[in-house]
């Protein structure tokens, strides 16, 4: 069974950003907050992205590119056996 965060990633990669955004808002975990921030990066909404990075206890100003952040997020899910 696919986790909610996996579903969010699937929507994000398919360009279904509204569906990804709607789904990620239902998860209150730090990982979801980070992914929520990544979604806002994708949308170009840096102010909201920074807010979600703060909620995830991640350093917004020292983040990587969008592609690097997605790869790091996916690697983190793999390490936690969530992907």
Torsion of CA 76, 82, 30, 26, to 10 degrees: 140
pTM of the model: 0.92
Which residue from 16, 22, 7, 21 is spatially nearest to 77, judged by alpha carbons? 7
pLDDT at 12: 92
Contact assessment for residue 10 and residue 29, using Cβ atoms and an 8 Å cutoff:
no
Topology (CATH level 3) of domain 4-79: 1.25.40
pLDDT at 83: 58
Contact assessment for residue 76 and residue 64, using Cβ atoms and an 8 Å cutoff:
no
Per-residue pLDDT of the chain in tens (83 residues, 90 and over written 9): 558 899 999 999 999 989 999 999 999 999 999 999 999 999 899 999 999 999 999 999 999 999 999 999 999 988 887 65
- Rounded distance between C-alpha atoms, residue 18 and residue 80, angstroms: 26
Domain boundaries, the chain: 4-79
């Amino acid at each position: 069974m696919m986790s909610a965060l996996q579903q969010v990633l699937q929507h994000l990669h398919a360009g279904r950003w509204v569906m990804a955004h709607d789904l990620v808002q239902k998860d209150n975990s730090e990982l979801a907050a980070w992914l929520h921030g990544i979604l806002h990066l994708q949308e170009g909404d840096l102010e909201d992205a920074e807010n979600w990075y703060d909620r995830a206890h991640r350093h917004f100003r020292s983040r990587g590119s969008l592609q690097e952040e997605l790869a790091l997020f996916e690697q983190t899910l793999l390490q936690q056996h969530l992907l």
